[in-house]
Amino acid sequence: MRTLHPELPPIPSRADAVGEHLAGGGQVAAVLPVHYPRSLLRAFDLLPVEVWGPPVRDTQLGDAHLQAYTCSVVRSGLAVALAGGIDVASVLVVPHTCDSLQGLASLLLDLVPARQAVVPLYHPRVGGPAGTYFLAAELRAVYTRLADVTGRHPDDAALSAAIAREEAADARLAALLARQGSLPLGDRAFYTLARSREYLPAERFTPLADAALALPDAPADPAQVPIVLSGMFPEPMALFDAIAAAGGRVVGDDTACVGRRAYPAGRSDDPFVRMAERLVDGPPDSTRGSAVAVRLARLRGLVAARGVRAVLFLEVKFCEPELFYLPLLRAGLEADGVRSTTIEVDVTEALPHQAITRLEALLETVAP
Ligand code: SF4
């Protein structure tokens, strides 16, 4: 348990959440990035616990099976799985987020069998009705696979109840994001709360978020330089200490693990279609193949709404989906007079000093 603010209840750790769920008779699903239907897993009483590059230092077990230019999320994820680090999970969900994760799913299915049941999930790379139709069919196939693994067969009512809980939790996440920078929480505390969606059941996250949303706004500090954070996910979390030390404050989020997963509510009464709508209609994201112009428009909207003049892209080395977008996104922002910089990290390493220098340079160029 961790305390983020004196007036907030303590937030459970991953181990707490997993322990409580297992004690209640449920099972755990380890889930790799980025998009997947939490409600479908919960309907099977599987608690999704996400694996975003566990901070292991030794990835040799994974490296032995992967090309050297594979990103550290996949390398460390495979190393942890092979070392028994996710043995608490009975299911391993591998979304087809990128070629690296697709390769990992193939490895775990055919060459280096995982100890868990591996469930791949294919995403459409188009939105609209075609994308929703494809994904709803894919989710029905995943349902069949999970039924085989767990022996459970949740009905439509159970699926709809799970969807309602996740929609409520995602609405709270969106509300937190709308007040990012004004809540009386530092960046580390804010992201600790927002990222607890990665492992907390929705019904535990929602009251925690409500308690945070009940806090009054903190007065703005005119000495702080507000920035928007983009990229895959904020690891290492020491990044926030570096931002604070350099006089910055994150007031807007476009990261794949937080801001791009504030999914809207679905519309359909068919639970599979509704789950698909939520993922397909989510904020634009590189891993879902969103158009550059759409992603740029979202970034411009965040920049304008939060009144910032700097965007920090925190990227994982060798992350192709993100790196393809960066030149055009940065050029578009530059044309608006918005400065940006890119920091590339390896999640198995500490934040490099060069990254701190870049961050400081970015903040200096836009400081009042
Ligand atoms: S960091 Fe990028 S390349 Fe690595 S798993 Fe995530 S999307 Fe794929």
Q: What is the pLDDT of residues 81-121, one digit of tens each?
A: 888 889 999 999 999 999 999 999 999 998 888 889 999 99
pLDDT band at 137 (very low <50, low <70, confident <90, very high): very high
The residue nearest atom 2 of ligand 1, judged by CA position, is 319
Which band of pLDDT confidence, cut at 50, 70 and 90, is reported for residue 183? very high
Tell me the CA–centroid distance for residue 75 and ligand 1, in Å. 10
φ, ψ (nearest 5 deg) of residue 230: -125, 180
- Which pLDDT value is given to residue 53? 75
Per-residue pLDDT at 55: 64
Q: Ligand 1 centre and the CA of 230: distance in Å?
A: 14
Across 221-226, average pLDDT: 92
pTM of the model: 0.95
Higher local confidence (pLDDT), 40 or 3:
40
- Identify the band that residue 214 occupies on the pLDDT scale cut at 50, 70 and 90: very high
- Ligand 1 centroid to 268 CA: how many Å? 31
Q: Is the pLDDT of residue 139 over 70?
A: yes
Which of 67, 75, 94, 97 for mutating ligand 1's site (highest number of atoms within 8 Å of CB)?
Answer: 97
Give the pLDDT confidence of 239-253 residue by residue, as tens digits: 999 999 999 999 999
Residue 177 beta carbon below 6 angstroms from any ligand 1 atom: no
Name which of 56-60, 251-255, 332-336 the model is least confident about.
56-60
Compute the distance from residue 287 Cα to the ligand 1 centre, in Å.
Answer: 8
- Whether 33 lines ligand 1, by a CB cut-off of 6 Å, is yes
